[in-house]
Amino acid sequence: MKNGMIIHPGELSKKWIDRLADAGIDTLGIHPEGGAGAPKTLARLLELLKTPEYRALIDYAKSRGLKIEYECHAAGYLMDKSLFADHPEYFRMNSEGERTPDWNFCVSNPDALSLFAKRAAELALALYGSGKDFYFWMDDGRGIHCNCPECRSLTPSDQQYIALRAALCEIRRHIPDARMAYLAYIDTIAPPTVSHSDSGLFLEYAPFEKYTARGDDREERIAREKAMIAPLLDYFGRADAKVLEYWYDNSLYSRWKKPPARFVLNENAMVDDVREYREMGFSRASTFACFLGEDYEELYGEADIIPFAKAFE
């Protein structure tokens, strides 16, 4: 299995790059912070990517053999909310039947879908040094899909699928062999119901609920997870399937509030998880490793990432 670690844009440093490359890790992921602020943090990343200093860091990471991936909640950035005043029909209908620009958009509106796709292609081309796998996730939350009369028969998974397929088709006009991650997470954990053939989408499974569930028996959880994951793997295929994990996500363990908490790795759980994922047929896994940057080091010293690399040997 290939492996990767994902950090926040502001945490990227020569030291982090050397740490990853020295440990033999395959991929450096960059993730602008999610939640309601995601459109702004993605816009800030794009500004950073124009600077020679940041580009030099990305170049250095590539020279050390790391593959670069950008993973972000992109829908709020890609669908320009200022269009709401003139085109409320581009935006989602909430469960009260009102159009709102709060999250995502209406995937049944062809103009909205086409705008979204064009912006997605611009974004793909602006991600300096990126590999050909793109991670333009829909907005971050629960119950934030469109409920308009045309979208009502589409599940949140269908809506994500339609948006990402449109984005990928547009991106492929510029980058013919591009691929796009379908994020299976919270509302999109069931496979889409729309049929597909060779969509160019690959599965990215994020077991977020594992970290929020309480008093869970591990065996029961794994059995439940396997039952949930099998239809996803059947739908998207196993060859490129990826896990998005939280083993080193010190932003989660710090409840996304600075200063960072002291990070304690649950190494046994991670090793068991990697084995399970491998048996299920996943071919790669990345873990968030946010809140382990310079401010963390000043407080607690350097986080040890060797156990992560070893878990994949």
Q: How far is the CB of 159 from Zn ion (least distance, A)?
A: 8
**Identity of the residue, 13 or 147, whose beta carbon is nearer to Zn ion in the bound complex:** 147
Q: How far is the CB of 105 from Zn ion (least distance, A)?
A: 8
First-to-final CA distance of the chain: 9
Distances (CA, A) of 273 to 7, 160, 161, 246, 308: 21, 27, 27, 11, 11
Contact 65, 4 (CB under 8 A): no
Q: How far is the CB of 23 from Zn ion (least distance, A)?
A: 45
Q: How far is the CB of 167 from Zn ion (least distance, A)?
A: 17
**Identity of the residue, 160 or 287, whose beta carbon is nearer to Zn ion in the bound complex:** 160
Q: How far is the CB of 260 from Zn ion (least distance, A)?
A: 40
Q: How far is the CB of 200 from Zn ion (least distance, A)?
A: 23
**Identity of the residue, 97 or 301, whose beta carbon is nearer to Zn ion in the bound complex:** 97
Buried-state track 117-154, b at ≥16 Cβ within 10 A, e below 16: bbbbbebbeebbbbeebbbbbbbbbeebbbbbeebeeb
**Identity of the residue, 21 or 162, whose beta carbon is nearer to Zn ion in the bound complex:** 162
Tokens for 94, please give them.
């909430």
**Identity of the residue, 38 or 106, whose beta carbon is nearer to Zn ion in the bound complex:** 106
**Identity of the residue, 162 or 265, whose beta carbon is nearer to Zn ion in the bound complex:** 162
Which residues here bind Zn ion, judged by CB under 5 A? Answer: 106, 108, 146, 148, 151
**Identity of the residue, 4 or 192, whose beta carbon is nearer to Zn ion in the bound complex:** 192
**Identity of the residue, 153 or 197, whose beta carbon is nearer to Zn ion in the bound complex:** 153
Q: How far is the CB of 146 from Zn ion (least distance, A)?
A: 3
Q: How far is the CB of 108 from Zn ion (least distance, A)?
A: 4
**Identity of the residue, 151 or 229, whose beta carbon is nearer to Zn ion in the bound complex:** 151
CB atoms within 10 A of CB 170: 20
Q: How far is the CB of 162 from Zn ion (least distance, A)?
A: 10
